[in-house]
Amino acid sequence: MKKIDILAAPFVQEMMNTTANLYRLGWDERNGGNISYLLDEEDVKPFLDLDKVIREIPMIFDASKLAGRYFIVTGSGKYFKNVINAPAENLGIVRVAANGKSLDLLWGLENDAVPTSELPSHFMSHIARLEVDPENRIIMHNHASHLLAMTFTHEMDEKAFTRTLWQMCTECLVVFPEGVSLLPWMVPGTNEIGEATAAKMKETRLVMWPQHGVYGAGKDMDEVFGLIETAEKAAQVYTYVCAQGGVKQTISDADLWRLADAFGLTPREGYLAPRA
């Protein structure tokens, strides 16, 4: 059976359009940022010969828990601005080998390119999220500007950081009622930061890397993009509020409880004052 052009695949189009949008927003300068997208075999089969492995790519991480799973990922050192015009050079479709220690390249990553150096962090976060949400498909990392700025000026306490974002924009509690996690500053691209991020991913879908950026997770591209976008908007409002002289009034805990009740959700335990 003749295969469909891979560039017509919905997941390739999503990666092309999302990377272009992230670059447009200024969240992924140069080669900053990376995305990994978990695919089902049935997603890939109409477009590729799954028995045709272009080359094997070794990994520094044992991804045995993801053996046989398929991903489309951004490449190491690749600029998001270039993905939409040269997807095969900047993206790759890989399958985790049975031993979990290498990847089978099925498409893309031309000219001997390799997946993002933060792929171990992505895989660890995928494993962690799948344990609590079997529908998780996306891990996205970018340098959302105002969230990044907050890690220089705001108290680095998860409860306080989350509450500030919840109070800056009414929709925040609705979009991420579980809150935001924070890590200490760590060297990127290491198993250490991957393990720390994955541990937080079991509790929240947003993890801040101070003085670096944000990690987000979710069921599809729109959910993850919207998750980060919402937190970033709240961080932007916080920046404006600070510049305008600071908070004089905000959403009260009583009102946040009313909001939670209206949308049928449960805020992170202990983050709001007890109901009156």
Q: State pLDDT tens for residues 142-196.
A: 999 999 999 999 999 999 999 999 999 999 999 999 999 999 999 998 889 999 9
In a domain, 1, yes or no: no
**pTM for the whole thing?**
0.95
Q: Say what the pLDDT of residue 1 is.
A: 64
Query: Which residue numbers belong to the known binding site for Zn(2+)?
Result: 141, 143, 212
Q: Is 195 a catalytic residue?
A: no
Q: Residue 57: which CATH number?
A: 3.40.225.10
- Residue 4: the pLDDT is 86
Query: Quick check: is 78 in a domain?
Result: yes
- C-alpha distances in Å from residue 215, one per residue of 57, 70, 183, 266: 24, 20, 11, 22
Candidates 118, 158, 223, 232; catalytic one: 118
Residue 272 lies in a domain: no
- Tell me if 166 is assigned to some domain: yes
Q: Which residues are annotated as a binding site?
A: 141, 143, 212
Q: Which domain holds residue 14?
A: 6-263
- Does residue 275 form part of some domain? no
Q: Is residue 23 part of a domain?
A: yes
pLDDT-above-90 percentage for the chain: 95
Q: Among candidates 20, 132, 25, 33, which has minimal Cα distance to 73?
A: 33
Q: Where are the alpha helices (DSSP H) in 154-190?
A: 158-168, 171-175
Whole-angstrom CA distances from 69 to 72, 76, 95, 109 are 10, 20, 6, 18
Residue 270 lies in a domain: no
